[in-house]
Amino acid sequence: MLNAIEWCDDHLEVIDQTHLPARLEVVKLSTVDDVVDAIKRLAVRGAPAIGVCGAFGVVIGLREGRTRDDLAKTIGDARPTAVNLRRDVDRTLQADDALDEALEIQAEDRESCARIGEFGRAELADTTRVMTHCNTGRLATSGIGTALGVVYSKFEAGEPIEVIATETRPLLQGGRLTAWELHDAGVPVTLIPDSAAGAALQAGKAGAVIVGCDRVAANGDTANKIGTYQLAVFARAANVPFYVAGPLSSFDPDTPDGRSIEIEFRPPEEVTNASGIDVGVWNPAFDVTPAHLITAFITDAGVLRPPFSVTIAAAFGAQK
């Protein structure tokens, strides 16, 4: 499988995820405008992937002669919810050698995915069927993914694993991307409409729910793809453990709780496209799952359990 994001001397080559699964098209991003456009229209998506793309966008922007302030704003604000984008943009802007830094961020992301995969494999040693939401795999990161990284780790180790993937309305990251990715890798996957998730959990079809994250606040409240919160509620009602997998780079200790997380709103057409009807639309791209509904975080620094305000702070303390 191709890498979702590849640096090629003076430009980026990325898989345009808006065309999947109909066609696998690689597009060239040669300017800051190309990079921002790709992030905004979700050609490149997933918290770690937009961070890496933004970092290389800074490299391109500095070569274009744009100022640091301009790049911090133009690229850093392209999408507001995932903390990775702003953090990776700022980190690259502050580095002595922007290209080295962007390549380092990409390598760290790849390594983080591998560690999440192994920690998750140990944590879910007895789980053979998981439900997931959105796409958190090879398309969303520079490595094997976060929640899907756990799945790939189990699969590669020869352990039995099946995935129930939610479609993830309205842009179908589950139906188009996760289903495509897992099918391509040979991992058994069953696709369900989002509206079947409660019934599937009630019927015992998954031993755990595992999702990714765009921003985890200091108290463990977690922003992730819209629909994640309802999965957490259904999981609690069905007594199924609910895991969030993600690198510490998706945690934001400066955000105290979920109320402080900026949620991106997307155009109404994403929702009305299916019907063509002209009515009011409320289309948040993310929701916040309160920490008390989360069983544990599977991170690149190990599995973090409640009380999260303590264990998250300790994980950041150990990183220094």
The single residue among 101, 214, 221, 252 that binds ligand MRU, judged by CB under 6 A, is 214
Q: Rule CB under 6 A: is residue 136 a binding residue for ligand MRU?
A: yes
Structure tokens at 57: 């966008």
Footprint of ligand MRU on 218-277 (CB under 6 A): 224-225
Burial of 159 per CB tally in 10 Å (0-12, 13-18, 19+): middle
Amino acid at 79: R
CA–CA separation, 12 and 6 (whole Å): 6
Q: Are 243 and 294 in contact (CB under 8 A)?
A: yes
Nearer to ligand MRU, 141 or 255 (CB): 141
Partner residues linked to 303 by β-bridges: 298
Active site residue 100: no
Q: Rule CB under 6 A: is residue 48 a binding residue for ligand MRU?
A: yes
Q: Rule CB under 6 A: is residue 74 a binding residue for ligand MRU?
A: no
| Segment lying near ligand MRU (by CB under 6 A), choices 186-194, 199-207, 212-220, 294-302 | 212-220
**Chain residue at closest Cβ approach to ligand MRU:** 212
Q: Rule CB under 6 A: is residue 294 a binding residue for ligand MRU?
A: no
Smallest gap from Cβ 67 to ligand MRU, in A, equals 27
Smallest gap from Cβ 57 to ligand MRU, in A, equals 16
Q: Rule CB under 6 A: is residue 36 a binding residue for ligand MRU?
A: no
The single residue among 4, 15, 47, 298 that binds ligand MRU, judged by CB under 6 A, is 47
Structure tokens at 200: 């599937």
Partner residues linked to 299 by β-bridges: 302
Question: In sequence order, what are the residues at sequence separation of 6 or more whose Cβ sits closer than 8 angstroms to the Cβ of residue 320?
Answer: none
Q: Are 131 and 197 in contact (CB under 8 A)?
A: yes
> CA separation (Å) from 285 to 3, 105, 179, 282?
25, 25, 20, 10
Question: Dihedral, CA atoms, 210, 107, 301, 206, nearest 10 degrees?
Answer: 10
Q: Rule CB under 6 A: is residue 173 a binding residue for ligand MRU?
A: yes
| Segment lying near ligand MRU (by CB under 6 A), choices 2-10, 135-143, 159-167, 189-197 | 135-143
Nearer to ligand MRU, 46 or 258 (CB): 46
Q: Are 264 and 284 in contact (CB under 8 A)?
A: yes
Q: Rule CB under 6 A: is residue 144 a binding residue for ligand MRU?
A: no
Smallest gap from Cβ 9 to ligand MRU, in A, equals 27
The single residue among 32, 130, 140, 210 that binds ligand MRU, judged by CB under 6 A, is 140
Partner residues linked to 129 by β-bridges: 162
Q: What angle do CA 90, 246, 160 make, to 5 degrees?
A: 150
- Catalytic site positions: 214
Q: Which residues bind ligand MRU (CB under 6 A)?
A: 42, 45-48, 82, 134, 136, 140-141, 145-146, 173, 212-214, 224-225, 285
